[in-house]
Chains A and B, each alone.
Chain A
Amino acid sequence: MMADAYQRILSWVKGLGRLGLFTWEVIQSLVGERLAGRIFLQQLYLIGVRSQTVVLVTGAFTGMVLTAQTYFQFHKVRIDTGSLAVVGISMCSELGPVLTGLMVAGRVGAALAAELGTMRVTEQLDALRALATHPVDYLVVPRVLGTIIAMPLLTAESMAIGIGAGYAVGAWFLDIDPTYSWHNMVRYTTVNDVLMGTIKAIIYGAMIGVICCYKGMHCGEGAEGVGRAATEAVVRSSITILISNFFLTLALNRILENE
Protein backbone atom coordinates (compact mmCIF):
# COMPACT_ATOMS: atom_id res chain seq x y z
CA MET A 1 0.00 0.00 0.00
CA MET A 2 2.75 2.43 1.06
CA ALA A 3 4.98 1.26 -1.77
CA ASP A 4 2.14 1.80 -4.23
CA ALA A 5 1.56 5.34 -2.95
CA TYR A 6 5.31 6.03 -3.10
CA GLN A 7 5.45 4.82 -6.71
CA ARG A 8 2.51 7.04 -7.65
CA ILE A 9 4.09 10.11 -6.07
CA LEU A 10 7.43 9.31 -7.71
CA SER A 11 5.83 8.92 -11.11
CA TRP A 12 3.90 12.19 -10.61
CA VAL A 13 7.09 14.05 -9.66
CA LYS A 14 8.94 12.54 -12.65
CA GLY A 15 6.09 13.60 -14.95
CA LEU A 16 6.23 17.12 -13.53
CA GLY A 17 9.98 17.20 -14.10
CA ARG A 18 9.58 16.07 -17.71
CA LEU A 19 6.90 18.72 -18.25
CA GLY A 20 9.29 21.31 -16.77
CA LEU A 21 12.09 20.27 -19.14
CA PHE A 22 9.67 20.30 -22.07
CA THR A 23 8.54 23.83 -21.13
CA TRP A 24 12.17 24.95 -20.93
CA GLU A 25 12.80 23.47 -24.38
CA VAL A 26 9.78 25.37 -25.74
CA ILE A 27 11.04 28.64 -24.21
CA GLN A 28 14.53 28.10 -25.65
CA SER A 29 13.09 27.40 -29.09
CA LEU A 30 10.72 30.38 -28.84
CA VAL A 31 13.62 32.70 -28.05
CA GLY A 32 16.46 31.19 -30.08
CA GLU A 33 14.99 29.48 -33.15
CA ARG A 34 13.29 30.82 -36.24
CA LEU A 35 9.49 30.50 -36.11
CA ALA A 36 7.74 28.26 -38.64
CA GLY A 37 5.59 31.19 -39.80
CA ARG A 38 3.16 29.38 -42.09
CA ILE A 39 2.28 26.78 -39.46
CA PHE A 40 1.92 29.49 -36.83
CA LEU A 41 -0.64 31.37 -38.97
CA GLN A 42 -2.45 28.12 -39.70
CA GLN A 43 -2.63 27.36 -35.97
CA LEU A 44 -3.73 30.89 -35.12
CA TYR A 45 -6.61 30.43 -37.54
CA LEU A 46 -7.51 26.96 -36.22
CA ILE A 47 -7.30 28.01 -32.56
CA GLY A 48 -8.54 31.59 -32.78
CA VAL A 49 -11.02 31.78 -35.63
CA ARG A 50 -12.45 28.27 -35.36
CA SER A 51 -13.13 28.68 -31.62
CA GLN A 52 -15.30 31.78 -32.12
CA THR A 53 -18.68 30.07 -31.98
CA VAL A 54 -18.07 28.09 -28.82
CA VAL A 55 -16.49 31.04 -27.01
CA LEU A 56 -19.18 33.52 -28.06
CA VAL A 57 -22.05 31.20 -27.11
CA THR A 58 -20.44 30.42 -23.75
CA GLY A 59 -19.72 34.09 -23.02
CA ALA A 60 -23.20 35.27 -24.04
CA PHE A 61 -25.14 32.73 -22.00
CA THR A 62 -22.86 33.11 -18.98
CA GLY A 63 -23.43 36.88 -19.05
CA MET A 64 -27.18 36.38 -19.43
CA VAL A 65 -27.59 33.89 -16.60
CA LEU A 66 -25.28 35.87 -14.32
CA THR A 67 -27.34 39.03 -14.92
CA ALA A 68 -30.56 37.18 -14.17
CA GLN A 69 -29.24 35.56 -10.96
CA THR A 70 -27.69 38.79 -9.69
CA TYR A 71 -30.87 40.69 -10.47
CA PHE A 72 -33.01 38.15 -8.54
CA GLN A 73 -30.91 38.79 -5.41
CA PHE A 74 -30.33 42.53 -5.85
CA HIS A 75 -34.01 43.15 -6.58
CA LYS A 76 -34.79 42.12 -2.97
CA VAL A 77 -32.76 45.06 -1.69
CA ARG A 78 -33.72 47.39 -4.56
CA ILE A 79 -30.30 47.73 -6.16
CA ASP A 80 -31.33 46.33 -9.57
CA THR A 81 -29.04 48.68 -11.48
CA GLY A 82 -25.97 47.20 -9.79
CA SER A 83 -26.52 43.83 -11.51
CA LEU A 84 -24.59 44.65 -14.68
CA ALA A 85 -21.65 45.98 -12.64
CA VAL A 86 -21.34 42.54 -11.00
CA VAL A 87 -21.53 40.93 -14.42
CA GLY A 88 -18.87 43.31 -15.77
CA ILE A 89 -16.40 42.64 -12.97
CA SER A 90 -17.02 38.87 -12.99
CA MET A 91 -16.79 38.53 -16.76
CA CYS A 92 -13.60 40.58 -16.99
CA SER A 93 -11.62 39.25 -14.07
CA GLU A 94 -12.87 35.67 -13.61
CA LEU A 95 -15.50 34.11 -15.84
CA GLY A 96 -14.23 35.46 -19.17
CA PRO A 97 -10.70 34.04 -18.95
CA VAL A 98 -11.63 30.84 -17.06
CA LEU A 99 -14.57 29.81 -19.25
CA THR A 100 -12.70 30.72 -22.43
CA GLY A 101 -9.74 28.71 -21.15
CA LEU A 102 -11.93 25.69 -20.42
CA MET A 103 -13.62 25.92 -23.81
CA VAL A 104 -10.31 26.26 -25.67
CA ALA A 105 -8.81 23.41 -23.62
CA GLY A 106 -11.76 21.22 -24.59
CA ARG A 107 -11.94 22.16 -28.25
CA VAL A 108 -8.33 22.84 -29.17
CA GLY A 109 -6.40 20.94 -26.48
CA ALA A 110 -7.86 17.57 -27.40
CA ALA A 111 -7.17 18.22 -31.09
CA LEU A 112 -3.56 19.27 -30.39
CA ALA A 113 -2.84 16.20 -28.27
CA ALA A 114 -4.55 13.84 -30.73
CA GLU A 115 -2.77 15.31 -33.76
CA LEU A 116 0.71 15.18 -32.21
CA GLY A 117 -0.05 11.79 -30.64
CA THR A 118 -1.04 10.36 -34.01
CA MET A 119 2.16 11.78 -35.52
CA ARG A 120 4.12 10.06 -32.77
CA VAL A 121 2.56 6.61 -33.17
CA THR A 122 2.85 6.74 -36.97
CA GLU A 123 6.58 7.62 -36.70
CA GLN A 124 6.03 11.08 -38.23
CA LEU A 125 7.84 12.69 -35.28
CA ASP A 126 10.82 10.37 -35.87
CA ALA A 127 10.65 11.23 -39.57
CA LEU A 128 10.85 14.94 -38.69
CA ARG A 129 13.89 14.32 -36.51
CA ALA A 130 15.46 12.17 -39.22
CA LEU A 131 14.96 15.11 -41.60
CA ALA A 132 17.04 17.25 -39.19
CA THR A 133 14.01 19.15 -37.88
CA HIS A 134 13.32 19.56 -34.18
CA PRO A 135 9.65 18.69 -33.49
CA VAL A 136 9.51 21.38 -30.79
CA ASP A 137 10.59 24.08 -33.29
CA TYR A 138 8.34 22.88 -36.08
CA LEU A 139 5.25 21.58 -34.30
CA VAL A 140 5.11 22.73 -30.69
CA VAL A 141 6.21 26.38 -30.76
CA PRO A 142 3.72 27.48 -33.47
CA ARG A 143 0.91 25.79 -31.57
CA VAL A 144 1.88 27.19 -28.16
CA LEU A 145 2.34 30.67 -29.62
CA GLY A 146 -1.01 30.28 -31.38
CA THR A 147 -2.83 29.56 -28.10
CA ILE A 148 -0.93 32.34 -26.27
CA ILE A 149 -2.03 34.93 -28.85
CA ALA A 150 -5.53 33.58 -29.49
CA MET A 151 -6.53 33.24 -25.83
CA PRO A 152 -6.54 36.95 -24.82
CA LEU A 153 -8.36 37.86 -28.04
CA LEU A 154 -11.01 35.21 -27.48
CA THR A 155 -11.27 36.24 -23.82
CA ALA A 156 -11.81 39.88 -24.79
CA GLU A 157 -14.61 38.75 -27.08
CA SER A 158 -16.11 36.64 -24.33
CA MET A 159 -16.00 39.57 -21.87
CA ALA A 160 -17.62 41.93 -24.37
CA ILE A 161 -20.35 39.52 -25.49
CA GLY A 162 -21.06 38.51 -21.86
CA ILE A 163 -21.55 42.11 -20.75
CA GLY A 164 -23.52 42.95 -23.91
CA ALA A 165 -25.82 39.95 -23.51
CA GLY A 166 -26.26 40.73 -19.80
CA TYR A 167 -27.17 44.32 -20.65
CA ALA A 168 -29.72 43.13 -23.23
CA VAL A 169 -31.33 40.66 -20.81
CA GLY A 170 -31.46 43.29 -18.07
CA ALA A 171 -32.95 45.96 -20.29
CA TRP A 172 -35.40 43.85 -22.29
CA PHE A 173 -36.48 41.02 -19.98
CA LEU A 174 -35.88 42.20 -16.41
CA ASP A 175 -36.86 45.86 -16.71
CA ILE A 176 -33.62 47.18 -15.24
CA ASP A 177 -33.04 50.83 -16.13
CA PRO A 178 -30.53 50.56 -19.00
CA THR A 179 -28.86 53.94 -18.48
CA TYR A 180 -28.11 53.51 -14.77
CA SER A 181 -27.24 49.88 -15.32
CA TRP A 182 -24.61 50.80 -17.95
CA HIS A 183 -23.37 53.74 -15.88
CA ASN A 184 -22.80 51.52 -12.82
CA MET A 185 -21.09 48.85 -14.91
CA VAL A 186 -18.64 51.41 -16.36
CA ARG A 187 -18.12 52.97 -12.94
CA TYR A 188 -17.31 49.78 -11.04
CA THR A 189 -15.57 47.71 -13.72
CA THR A 190 -12.02 49.04 -13.71
CA VAL A 191 -9.10 48.78 -16.11
CA ASN A 192 -7.46 46.48 -13.55
CA ASP A 193 -10.30 43.96 -13.96
CA VAL A 194 -9.77 43.88 -17.73
CA LEU A 195 -6.00 43.71 -17.25
CA MET A 196 -6.34 40.84 -14.79
CA GLY A 197 -8.51 38.89 -17.23
CA THR A 198 -6.10 39.51 -20.09
CA ILE A 199 -3.02 38.45 -18.10
CA LYS A 200 -4.85 35.31 -16.94
CA ALA A 201 -5.85 34.53 -20.53
CA ILE A 202 -2.24 34.76 -21.74
CA ILE A 203 -1.08 32.46 -18.92
CA TYR A 204 -3.90 29.97 -19.59
CA GLY A 205 -3.04 30.03 -23.31
CA ALA A 206 0.55 29.07 -22.51
CA MET A 207 -0.64 26.36 -20.09
CA ILE A 208 -3.08 24.83 -22.60
CA GLY A 209 -0.51 24.87 -25.41
CA VAL A 210 2.33 23.37 -23.38
CA ILE A 211 0.30 20.73 -21.51
CA CYS A 212 -1.61 19.53 -24.59
CA CYS A 213 1.47 19.43 -26.85
CA TYR A 214 3.41 17.60 -24.09
CA LYS A 215 0.65 15.01 -23.75
CA GLY A 216 0.56 14.47 -27.52
CA MET A 217 4.34 14.24 -27.90
CA HIS A 218 4.61 11.73 -25.03
CA CYS A 219 1.51 9.63 -25.68
CA GLY A 220 1.39 5.84 -25.36
CA GLU A 221 1.34 3.41 -28.25
CA GLY A 222 -1.58 2.84 -30.62
CA ALA A 223 -5.06 4.28 -30.84
CA GLU A 224 -5.57 3.73 -27.11
CA GLY A 225 -2.50 5.83 -26.31
CA VAL A 226 -3.68 8.67 -28.54
CA GLY A 227 -7.18 8.59 -27.05
CA ARG A 228 -5.81 8.62 -23.51
CA ALA A 229 -3.44 11.50 -24.36
CA ALA A 230 -6.34 13.57 -25.73
CA THR A 231 -8.46 12.94 -22.64
CA GLU A 232 -5.59 13.62 -20.23
CA ALA A 233 -4.67 16.80 -22.12
CA VAL A 234 -8.16 18.23 -21.63
CA VAL A 235 -8.50 17.11 -18.01
CA ARG A 236 -5.02 18.24 -16.92
CA SER A 237 -5.19 21.62 -18.64
CA SER A 238 -8.72 22.27 -17.27
CA ILE A 239 -7.70 21.38 -13.73
CA THR A 240 -4.53 23.46 -14.04
CA ILE A 241 -6.61 26.45 -15.17
CA LEU A 242 -9.05 26.11 -12.27
CA ILE A 243 -6.37 25.66 -9.61
CA SER A 244 -4.06 28.36 -10.91
CA ASN A 245 -7.02 30.76 -11.22
CA PHE A 246 -7.25 30.95 -7.43
CA PHE A 247 -3.56 31.75 -6.96
CA LEU A 248 -3.49 34.13 -9.93
CA THR A 249 -6.48 36.03 -8.53
CA LEU A 250 -4.70 36.53 -5.20
CA ALA A 251 -1.36 37.43 -6.78
CA LEU A 252 -2.72 39.71 -9.51
CA ASN A 253 -4.99 41.53 -7.05
CA ARG A 254 -1.95 42.32 -4.92
CA ILE A 255 0.20 43.38 -7.89
CA LEU A 256 -2.47 45.47 -9.64
CA GLU A 257 -3.63 47.13 -6.40
CA ASN A 258 -0.07 48.35 -5.80
CA GLU A 259 0.22 49.82 -9.30
Chain B
Amino acid sequence: MIEVRELHKRFGTQHVLRGINLHVEKGEAVVIIGRSGCGKSILLKHLIGLLPPEEGDVVVDGRSLKGLDERQLLRMRQKFGMLFQSAALFDSMTVAENVGFALRRARRFSEQEIARQVGEALEMVELPGTESKKPSQLSGGMRKRVGLARAIVYRPQIILYDEPTTGLDPIMADSIDRLIVRICDRLKVTSIAVTHDMRSAARIGRRILMLEEGQIYISAPPDELFRSKDPVVHRFVHGISEAREQSFQP
Protein backbone atom coordinates (compact mmCIF):
# COMPACT_ATOMS: atom_id res chain seq x y z
CA MET B 1 0.00 0.00 0.00
CA ILE B 2 2.80 2.41 0.95
CA GLU B 3 6.33 1.93 -0.25
CA VAL B 4 9.32 4.13 0.44
CA ARG B 5 12.35 3.63 -1.78
CA GLU B 6 15.82 4.98 -0.97
CA LEU B 7 14.45 8.18 0.58
CA HIS B 8 16.95 10.93 1.36
CA LYS B 9 16.36 14.32 2.97
CA ARG B 10 18.80 17.04 3.91
CA PHE B 11 18.27 20.32 5.74
CA GLY B 12 21.31 22.44 4.90
CA THR B 13 24.33 20.37 5.87
CA GLN B 14 22.27 18.01 8.03
CA HIS B 15 21.56 14.71 6.26
CA VAL B 16 18.43 13.60 8.16
CA LEU B 17 17.12 10.65 6.12
CA ARG B 18 19.83 8.51 4.50
CA GLY B 19 18.18 6.02 2.22
CA ILE B 20 15.00 4.84 3.94
CA ASN B 21 13.32 1.73 2.53
CA LEU B 22 9.94 0.84 3.91
CA HIS B 23 6.89 -1.20 2.93
CA VAL B 24 3.56 -1.01 4.74
CA GLU B 25 0.75 -3.40 3.82
CA LYS B 26 -2.94 -2.53 3.80
CA GLY B 27 -4.48 -2.77 7.28
CA GLU B 28 -1.09 -2.95 9.02
CA ALA B 29 -0.37 -1.06 12.24
CA VAL B 30 3.22 0.16 12.11
CA VAL B 31 5.04 2.23 14.68
CA ILE B 32 8.22 4.14 13.90
CA ILE B 33 10.43 4.79 16.90
CA GLY B 34 13.72 6.60 17.29
CA ARG B 35 15.48 9.29 19.27
CA SER B 36 14.25 12.87 19.27
CA GLY B 37 15.37 14.67 16.13
CA CYS B 38 16.20 11.48 14.21
CA GLY B 39 13.74 12.32 11.41
CA LYS B 40 10.61 10.32 12.37
CA SER B 41 8.18 13.19 11.78
CA ILE B 42 10.06 14.15 8.60
CA LEU B 43 9.55 10.60 7.30
CA LEU B 44 5.84 10.75 8.19
CA LYS B 45 5.44 14.06 6.33
CA HIS B 46 7.03 12.49 3.25
CA LEU B 47 4.45 9.69 3.27
CA ILE B 48 1.60 12.19 2.85
CA GLY B 49 3.53 14.45 0.48
CA LEU B 50 3.85 17.38 2.87
CA LEU B 51 7.58 17.32 2.18
CA PRO B 52 9.11 16.48 -1.20
CA PRO B 53 11.87 13.83 -1.26
CA GLU B 54 15.31 14.99 -2.34
CA GLU B 55 16.22 11.55 -3.59
CA GLY B 56 14.20 8.37 -3.71
CA ASP B 57 10.46 7.93 -3.98
CA VAL B 58 7.25 7.35 -2.04
CA VAL B 59 4.64 5.14 -3.70
CA VAL B 60 1.04 5.06 -2.42
CA ASP B 61 -1.32 2.44 -3.86
CA GLY B 62 1.06 1.92 -6.77
CA ARG B 63 1.27 5.62 -7.61
CA SER B 64 4.53 7.49 -7.21
CA LEU B 65 4.36 10.89 -5.51
CA LYS B 66 7.43 12.00 -7.42
CA GLY B 67 6.76 14.91 -9.75
CA LEU B 68 3.16 15.44 -8.56
CA ASP B 69 2.25 19.11 -8.12
CA GLU B 70 0.46 20.36 -5.00
CA ARG B 71 -3.02 20.00 -6.54
CA GLN B 72 -2.38 16.38 -7.60
CA LEU B 73 -1.04 15.70 -4.11
CA LEU B 74 -4.23 17.16 -2.60
CA ARG B 75 -6.30 14.51 -4.41
CA MET B 76 -3.95 11.77 -3.21
CA ARG B 77 -4.15 13.07 0.38
CA GLN B 78 -7.87 12.31 0.49
CA LYS B 79 -6.79 8.74 1.30
CA PHE B 80 -4.97 9.97 4.41
CA GLY B 81 -5.93 11.23 7.82
CA MET B 82 -3.25 12.74 10.02
CA LEU B 83 -3.02 13.49 13.71
CA PHE B 84 -0.37 16.16 14.26
CA GLN B 85 1.95 16.32 17.25
CA SER B 86 0.36 19.56 18.45
CA ALA B 87 -3.08 18.45 17.13
CA ALA B 88 -2.89 21.55 14.81
CA LEU B 89 -6.55 22.44 15.36
CA PHE B 90 -7.72 25.57 13.54
CA ASP B 91 -7.95 27.95 16.47
CA SER B 92 -10.44 30.30 14.82
CA MET B 93 -12.98 27.46 14.53
CA THR B 94 -15.09 25.52 17.02
CA VAL B 95 -14.58 21.81 17.63
CA ALA B 96 -17.52 20.98 15.32
CA GLU B 97 -16.12 23.20 12.55
CA ASN B 98 -12.68 21.61 12.94
CA VAL B 99 -14.01 18.06 12.80
CA GLY B 100 -16.43 18.78 9.97
CA PHE B 101 -13.88 20.77 7.94
CA ALA B 102 -13.09 18.10 5.32
CA LEU B 103 -16.78 17.16 4.93
CA ARG B 104 -17.77 20.79 4.41
CA ARG B 105 -14.97 21.31 1.88
CA ALA B 106 -16.10 18.21 -0.05
CA ARG B 107 -19.49 19.96 -0.67
CA ARG B 108 -21.26 16.61 -0.88
CA PHE B 109 -23.09 16.64 2.43
CA SER B 110 -25.95 18.64 3.89
CA GLU B 111 -25.40 20.53 7.16
CA GLN B 112 -27.51 17.93 9.02
CA GLU B 113 -25.44 15.09 7.59
CA ILE B 114 -22.21 16.89 8.56
CA ALA B 115 -23.52 17.49 12.09
CA ARG B 116 -24.45 13.80 12.38
CA GLN B 117 -21.04 12.58 11.20
CA VAL B 118 -19.22 15.08 13.43
CA GLY B 119 -21.29 13.88 16.40
CA GLU B 120 -20.43 10.27 15.56
CA ALA B 121 -16.69 11.01 15.27
CA LEU B 122 -16.69 12.91 18.57
CA GLU B 123 -18.58 10.00 20.16
CA MET B 124 -15.87 7.65 18.89
CA VAL B 125 -13.14 9.71 20.57
CA GLU B 126 -15.26 10.00 23.73
CA LEU B 127 -15.85 13.72 23.50
CA PRO B 128 -19.58 14.07 22.90
CA GLY B 129 -21.12 17.48 23.57
CA THR B 130 -17.97 19.51 22.91
CA GLU B 131 -19.07 20.73 19.47
CA SER B 132 -19.36 24.41 20.38
CA LYS B 133 -16.08 24.65 22.31
CA LYS B 134 -13.03 26.46 20.93
CA PRO B 135 -9.63 24.67 20.86
CA SER B 136 -8.32 27.14 23.46
CA GLN B 137 -10.91 25.80 25.93
CA LEU B 138 -9.62 22.22 25.64
CA SER B 139 -6.88 20.36 27.50
CA GLY B 140 -3.93 18.78 25.64
CA GLY B 141 -5.55 15.33 25.67
CA MET B 142 -8.88 16.69 24.46
CA ARG B 143 -7.17 18.56 21.64
CA LYS B 144 -5.50 15.33 20.49
CA ARG B 145 -8.86 13.58 20.57
CA VAL B 146 -10.46 16.32 18.50
CA GLY B 147 -7.50 16.11 16.09
CA LEU B 148 -8.14 12.37 15.85
CA ALA B 149 -11.86 12.91 15.25
CA ARG B 150 -10.97 15.36 12.47
CA ALA B 151 -8.62 12.77 10.93
CA ILE B 152 -11.15 9.91 10.92
CA VAL B 153 -14.45 11.66 10.18
CA TYR B 154 -14.16 11.25 6.40
CA ARG B 155 -13.10 7.60 6.71
CA PRO B 156 -9.57 7.69 5.25
CA GLN B 157 -7.78 4.47 4.30
CA ILE B 158 -4.53 5.40 6.03
CA ILE B 159 -4.10 7.27 9.32
CA LEU B 160 -0.79 8.83 10.32
CA TYR B 161 -0.13 9.67 13.95
CA ASP B 162 2.70 12.07 14.80
CA GLU B 163 3.67 11.60 18.46
CA PRO B 164 0.09 10.88 19.58
CA THR B 165 0.92 10.69 23.29
CA THR B 166 3.67 13.28 23.67
CA GLY B 167 2.98 15.77 26.46
CA LEU B 168 0.13 13.75 27.97
CA ASP B 169 -0.06 12.22 31.43
CA PRO B 170 0.24 8.38 31.53
CA ILE B 171 -3.49 7.84 32.00
CA MET B 172 -4.41 10.12 29.12
CA ALA B 173 -1.65 8.53 27.00
CA ASP B 174 -3.09 5.08 27.71
CA SER B 175 -6.55 6.29 26.77
CA ILE B 176 -5.26 7.72 23.45
CA ASP B 177 -3.44 4.43 22.71
CA ARG B 178 -6.63 2.43 23.30
CA LEU B 179 -8.49 4.85 21.08
CA ILE B 180 -5.97 4.36 18.27
CA VAL B 181 -6.21 0.56 18.55
CA ARG B 182 -10.02 0.75 18.58
CA ILE B 183 -10.09 3.00 15.52
CA CYS B 184 -7.65 0.73 13.69
CA ASP B 185 -9.79 -2.34 14.43
CA ARG B 186 -13.15 -0.71 13.86
CA LEU B 187 -12.39 1.25 10.71
CA LYS B 188 -9.96 -1.33 9.27
CA VAL B 189 -7.46 1.37 8.38
CA THR B 190 -3.71 1.26 7.86
CA SER B 191 -2.01 3.00 10.79
CA ILE B 192 1.45 4.48 10.88
CA ALA B 193 2.48 6.12 14.14
CA VAL B 194 5.63 7.92 15.10
CA THR B 195 6.58 8.00 18.76
CA HIS B 196 9.40 7.71 21.25
CA ASP B 197 7.04 6.51 23.93
CA MET B 198 7.84 2.78 24.15
CA ARG B 199 4.70 1.85 26.10
CA SER B 200 2.62 3.49 23.44
CA ALA B 201 4.59 1.78 20.65
CA ALA B 202 4.05 -1.65 22.23
CA ARG B 203 0.32 -1.04 22.59
CA ILE B 204 -0.51 0.26 19.14
CA GLY B 205 2.05 -1.39 16.85
CA ARG B 206 1.91 -4.83 15.26
CA ARG B 207 5.33 -4.05 13.82
CA ILE B 208 7.90 -1.58 15.09
CA LEU B 209 10.55 0.10 12.98
CA MET B 210 13.48 1.80 14.63
CA LEU B 211 15.09 4.79 12.93
CA GLU B 212 18.76 5.29 13.71
CA GLU B 213 21.15 7.66 11.97
CA GLY B 214 18.72 8.30 9.15
CA GLN B 215 18.05 4.65 8.32
CA ILE B 216 15.71 1.86 9.40
CA TYR B 217 17.85 0.05 11.94
CA ILE B 218 15.44 -2.77 12.77
CA SER B 219 11.92 -3.86 11.85
CA ALA B 220 10.32 -6.38 14.20
CA PRO B 221 7.14 -7.24 16.12
CA PRO B 222 6.99 -5.55 19.56
CA ASP B 223 7.84 -8.71 21.58
CA GLU B 224 10.91 -9.43 19.50
CA LEU B 225 12.07 -5.82 19.67
CA PHE B 226 11.74 -5.66 23.44
CA ARG B 227 13.74 -8.89 23.80
CA SER B 228 16.48 -7.75 21.39
CA LYS B 229 20.05 -7.96 22.68
CA ASP B 230 21.35 -5.47 20.10
CA PRO B 231 22.98 -2.72 22.19
CA VAL B 232 21.47 0.18 20.20
CA VAL B 233 17.96 -1.28 20.33
CA HIS B 234 18.31 -2.41 23.95
CA ARG B 235 19.51 1.03 25.09
CA PHE B 236 16.68 2.85 23.32
CA VAL B 237 13.89 0.47 24.31
CA HIS B 238 14.90 0.47 27.97
CA GLY B 239 15.85 4.16 28.06
CA ILE B 240 19.53 3.76 28.94
CA SER B 241 21.73 6.69 27.98
CA GLU B 242 25.30 6.24 26.84
CA ALA B 243 27.98 6.58 29.53
CA ARG B 244 29.73 9.45 27.79
CA GLU B 245 26.52 11.48 27.83
CA GLN B 246 26.26 11.13 31.61
CA SER B 247 29.68 12.48 32.46
CA PHE B 248 30.15 16.24 32.54
CA GLN B 249 33.09 17.43 30.48
CA PRO B 250 34.13 21.04 30.96
Contact = CB atoms under 8 A, between A and B. Distances in A.
A1 interface: no
Given A131-B102, A132-B105, A124 B78 contact: no
Interface string B73-96: 111011011101110111100000
Contacts of A127: 82, 84, 88-90
B85 A123 contact: yes
Interface string A113-142: 000000100111011111111100000000
Contacts of B75: 132
Interface in A80-133: 119, 122-124, 126-133
Given A130-B50, A131-B102, A132-B102, A124 B70 contact: no
5 contacts: A123-B86, A124-B90, A127-B82, A129-B50, A130-B82
Contacts of B85: 123
Contact of A133 (B48, B74, B84, B150): B74
B236 interface: no
A124 B88 contact: yes
A132 B88 contact: no
Contacts of B82: 127, 130
A131 B45 CA distance: 13
Contacts of B101: 131, 133
A128 B91 CA distance: 12
B71 interface: yes
Nearest to A128: B90
B74 A129 contact: yes
A133 B88 contact: no
Interface residues of A, number: 13
A130 B77 contact: yes
Contacts of B150: 131
Given A131-B101, A131-B102, A123 B84 contact: yes
A126 B88 CA distance: 8
A129 B80 CA distance: 11
Interface in A121-168: 122-124, 126-134
Interface of A: 119, 122-124, 126-134
Residue of B77, B78, B82, B88 with most chain A CB atoms under a 10 A cut-off: B88
Nearest to B75: A132
Nearest to B80: A130
B78 A126 contact: no
B189 to A, nearest CB: 15
Contacts of B86: 122-123
A35 to B, nearest CB: 13
Residue of A130, A133, A134 with most chain B CB atoms under a 10 A cut-off: A130
Contacts of A134: 70-71, 74
Contacts of B74: 129, 132-134
B162 to A, nearest CB: 9
A123 B150 CA distance: 15
Contacts of B105: 131-133
A153 B91 CA distance: 30
Nearest to A39: B92
Contacts of B81: 130
A123 B50 CA distance: 11
B77 A129 contact: yes
A124 B48 CA distance: 15
Which 7 A-B pairs rank lowest in CB-CB distance, beginning with the nearest? Answer: A127-B88, A123-B88, A130-B82, A132-B74, A132-B77, A131-B102, A132-B78
A126 B45 contact: yes
Contacts of B80: 130
Contacts of A132: 74-75, 77-78, 102, 105
Contacts of B48: 130
A41 to B, nearest CB: 14
Contacts of A122: 86, 88, 91
A131 B86 CA distance: 16
Nearest to A33: B71
A124 B89 CA distance: 7
Contacts of B102: 131-133
A129 B82 CA distance: 10
A130 B44 CA distance: 12
Nearest to B162: A123
Contacts of A123: 84-86, 88
A127 B84 CA distance: 8
Interface in B100-115: 101-102, 105
A142 to B, nearest CB: 13
B103 to A, nearest CB: 10
Nearest to A136: B70
